[in-house]
Amino acid sequence: MAKPRNKVVDGWVYVLLRLIVTNIHCWPVSWSLFAASRVGDCIYYFDAKHRRRAIGNLTRSFPEKSTHEIRNIARRSMQNMCCLGVETFFTTRLIRLETYARHINLEHFAPTLDLMMKRDQGLIMLTGHYGNWEVLGYVLATLGFETTSVARPLDNPHLNQFLLGVRSKRGQRIIAKKGATEAITQALDERQMVAFIADQNAGPKGIFVDFFGRKASAYKSIGLLAIQYNIPVVIGYARRRQGDFYFDCGSHDVIYPADWKDESDPLRYITQRYTAAIEAMVRIDPTQYLWVHRRWKSRPKGETAEKFD
């Protein structure tokens, strides 16, 4: 049973966030991102638990890198984690149909654009905790490609409602992860796009695939939906560039039904391939990945969890 929420604390946290958001909009986005980076530095130096987790995940994922490189990636990852929040609240102000080209570079996007414009079938869009996944969904909605995105609600109901308002401003539909099956199948029946963050730990009942040289539990539902509806799976990203609020948005891989047609285990093939695509994206710039999240928490039967995961 979930722990009861303290309504007074939730209310004050919401007020504090609104004050912060109001304040950051009083300054140029570059100043706000600089301040967010310094907050990320504080988290790195003072939050020992998450620093150890990030360094542990990085050490096992990049055994060829030095201790200095690993620590630098972990610190910059926490900087980017804080910048993500600032960037998300600037999307409604900066990303509009007439201005998005100032902030977004669409690359490797032609195959995905063709699929989205056909509208003769549903489509599954995937990304990971990489770059700014909030910006990716917002950009697609701004361009007129409305998606049904599956997300876990925030525990604080006031913050959750506020963030929903930002996410859905351009038409993106957000549905809660728990009990989302009916809404997802309805969207695919209507030949719409459904979006997932696909690098979350799926627990002991998930399907274990390779991710940075270790087994990680992934949800079976994504592959099963692709097989059931016989639709493509697109793995995309919004990778931030150095500087003020600018992103490369594109697709890293597209998995077509013909690709798994002759596979003996199509579910495993789809799941491993999109997981490999997320890994390849992260390797381009590992500082933009959320290394503090517990991707490898669940272990295959007979394997014990690593102590700092």
Phi-psi region of 245 (alpha: psi -120 to 50; beta: other; left: phi over 0): left
Q: Is the residue at 303 inside a domain?
A: no
In the chain, what is the greatest distance between 2 CA atoms, to the nearest angstrom? 57
Nearest to 287 by CA among 83, 10, 12: 83
- pLDDT exceeds 50 at position 308: no
Please report the pLDDT score of residue 305 as a whole number. Answer: 63
Average pLDDT over residues 54-68: 97
What domain range is 103 assigned to? 7-288
pLDDT digits 0-9 by tens, 265-277 = 999 999 999 999 9
Q: Is the residue at 86 inside a domain?
A: yes
**Low-confidence winner among 31-35, 40-44, 73-77, 136-140 (lowest mean pLDDT):** 136-140
Please report the pLDDT score of residue 267 as a whole number. Answer: 98
pLDDT digits 0-9 by tens, 24-36 = 888 899 999 999 9
Q: Is the residue at 126 inside a domain?
A: yes
pLDDT digits 0-9 by tens, 141-171 = 888 887 888 877 777 888 778 777 766 766 6
Which pair of tokens denotes residue 123? 């489509």
Q: Is the residue at 305 inside a domain?
A: no
Nearest to 286 by CA among 135, 46, 65, 105: 65
Nearest to 208 by CA among 216, 200, 219: 216
Question: Residue 132 is which amino acid?
Answer: N
Note whether 134 and 167 are within 8 A (CB). yes
Q: Is the residue at 255 inside a domain?
A: yes
Note whether 203 and 101 are within 8 A (CB). no
Q: Is the residue at 166 inside a domain?
A: yes
Q: Which residues pair with 195 in a beta bridge?
A: 125, 149
Q: Is the residue at 302 inside a domain?
A: no
Nearest to 302 by CA among 182, 186, 215, 176: 215
Q: Is the residue at 296 inside a domain?
A: no
Looking at the 3D structure of the chain, how many domains does it have? 1
pLDDT digits 0-9 by tens, 223-246 = 999 999 999 999 999 999 877 899
The DSSP code sequence of the chain is -PPPP-HHHHHHHHHHHHHHHHHHTTS-HHHHHHHHHHHHHHHHHH-HHHHHHHHHHHHHH-TTS-HHHHHHHHHHHHHHHHHHHHHHHHHHHH--TTTGGGTEEEES-HHHHHHHHH-SS-EEEEE-SBS-HHHHHHHHHHTT--EEEEEPPPSSHHHHHHHHHHHTTTS-EEEESTT-HHHHHHHHHTT-EEEEE--S---TTSEEEEETTEEEEE-SHHHHHHHHHT--EEEEEEEEPSSSS-EEEEEEEEE-HHHHTT-SSHHHHHHHHHHHHHHHHHHH-GGGB-TTS-TT-S--TT-PPPTT-
Which pair of tokens denotes residue 300? 């295959």
Report how far residue 140's alpha carbon sits from residue 146's, in angstroms, rounded to the nearest whole number: 7
Nearest to 168 by CA among 148, 190, 152, 197: 148
Please report the pLDDT score of residue 270 as a whole number. Answer: 98
Pairing of strands 207-211, 147-151: unpaired
Average pLDDT over residues 41-61: 97
Distances (CA, A) of 300 to 91, 184, 185, 277: 40, 28, 29, 22
- pLDDT exceeds 70 at position 66: yes
Q: What is the CATH number of the domain that holds 64?
A: 3.40.1130
Which pair of tokens denotes residue 60? 């096992």
